[in-house]
Structure 1
Amino acid sequence: MASSGIEARRQAAMEEGSAAYIARRKEIVRAAAHVFRDKGYEATLKDVAQALGTERASIYYYFGSKEELLQEIVREALARDMEAAHAIRKSKDTTPAKIRALIESMVISYAENYPHMNVYIEDLGRIARQDSEWAIDVIEETRQYEALVRSILRQGQEEGTLRDDIPINVASMALFGTVNWMYRWYRPTYPVPPEEIADGFARIFLSGFAVPGAEEAAGTAKGKQ
């Protein structure tokens, strides 16, 4: 591809940044995300091109490789979530309200950007095993996002609006585990709308799933066995 001058043309087009070029890149990213979701990361640029009704060679004018496409998918997903989380952290809302807003932001983002988030979550382990500069940056940004969420939870414990008998790390992993598991079951055709999913997650996380006294009763029953 370099001998044909396509790499130089791509670089020049990126630097120029015309609206049409950027729009086409975004269209390719959306198509690639769907292809990777349906066929896994083993899918090829030819598969992406077929989904767009074009030739594989034309993709190289916008992206140099399949890996570069995945990087853009992940980059977009992280940028959106980080921006939303920072805004929530700086808001004047109470901590429980911030947590509800955070969960809603994560769920709505997941639904609106499906299947981009599927690709990111499913490939996070593979990304973590890489030692490229990009992979290191992604993992670092992911950790920053997790730290931001923990800071919100910690604020709630310090002000007395959240239980202080549950370690922050455990609580944050419960939150992330709940939302991130959506990649296994959520599809745009899911019968429950994203807003109701977010509300359910928030109710479970903030109020607890067991009725008052159920945990003590369960412990007593276990002791009698």
Structure 2
Amino acid sequence: MSSAQPDAPRPPARRRSPGRPDRRAARREQVLDTAARMFFERGYEATTTTEIGAELGLLKGSVYYYISSKEDLLYEIVEQYHRDTREYFDRIEASDAPPLDKLRELIATETAHTATNLTRSSLFYTEWRSLSEERQRTIVAERTRHEDAVLRWIREAQATGAVRADLDAKVATYAIFGMVNSAYRWFRPEGRLSADEIGREFCELILGGLETR
């Protein structure tokens, strides 16, 4: 007869309380926020993962518990920004609004979003070339998607007579994004106008030059 004792009953696995944040996820978000700020202040190339870890009070190498590489950090920061823009872009694109109204909403929303998220928008527009070619292609594809939609909306509005027919639609598209994307360079939250007000001002300036009078 075996003398082995029956296994002692195991205590039930602890469940995370509903609404209780995942500590690792929260800490990882801290890593991303700190990396974004340091990349913004010092530049991506001039910032090391060791310095990011030190800023967070992590031992040397501990930062790799949360990320695989410095490039992964940059890519996730940029991709987070992409996900945010994709959310409002998809909503505008899927709406039944006339092309000019879609254009108006995109200009206002994207300008305000760029100005409100200065750190990440700056990295999105200035540091993306530090990514691998494959990841760069992902960024470019998303930008092209936005540009193609704006080009299409302008041409559709020209076909209905809402936008001047003498304008080159492609040049107008590049001008719009050049203007909207510039907000990260000069906008200051403490300035006279809010991000939303800047978005509305841009709408007036851009559409004032496009619309048929």
Q: Is the 8 A contact 1:31 1:52 kept in 2?
A: yes
Deviation of 1:57 (Å): 2.3
Q: Residues 164 and 38 of structure 1: is their aligned pair in 2 closer, same or farther, counting only changes over 3 Å?
A: same
What is the letter of the counterpart of residue 120 of structure 2? H
1:44-70 per-position Cα deviation (integer Å, ceiling 9, x unaligned): 123322433433422111111111100
Gaps of 5+ in 2: 1-20
Percent of aligned pairs with the same residue? 31
Q: Aligned residue for 1:148?
A: 149
Q: Is the 8 A contact 2:103 2:153 kept in 1?
A: yes
Deviation of 1:125 (Å): 4.3
Q: How far, CA to CA, are the matches of 1:163 and 1:51 in structure 2?
A: 53
Q: Aligned residue for 1:220?
A: none
Q: Is the 8 A contact 1:85 1:148 kept in 2?
A: no
Structure number with greater Rg is 2
Q: Aligned residue for 1:36?
A: 39
Give the counterpart of 2:112 among 98, 108, 111: 108
Q: Residues 147 and 57 of structure 1: is their aligned pair in 2 closer, same or farther, counting only changes over 3 Å?
A: same
Map residues 144-223 of structure 1 onto 2, 5 A cutoff: 144-208=145-209
Q: How far, CA to CA, are the matches of 1:51 and 1:160 in structure 2?
A: 56
Q: Which stretches of structure 1, 4 residues or more, deviate above 6 A after TM superposition?
A: none
What is the letter of the counterpart of residue 23 of structure 2? A
Q: Aligned residue for 1:217?
A: none
Q: 140-149 vs 99-108, which deviates more?
A: 140-149
Scaled by the length of structure 1, the TM-score of the pair is 0.75
Deviation of 1:126 (Å): 4.4
Gaps of 5+ in 1: 1-17, 213-225
Q: How far, CA to CA, are the matches of 1:55 and 1:140 in structure 2?
A: 38
Scaled by the length of structure 2, the TM-score of the pair is 0.79
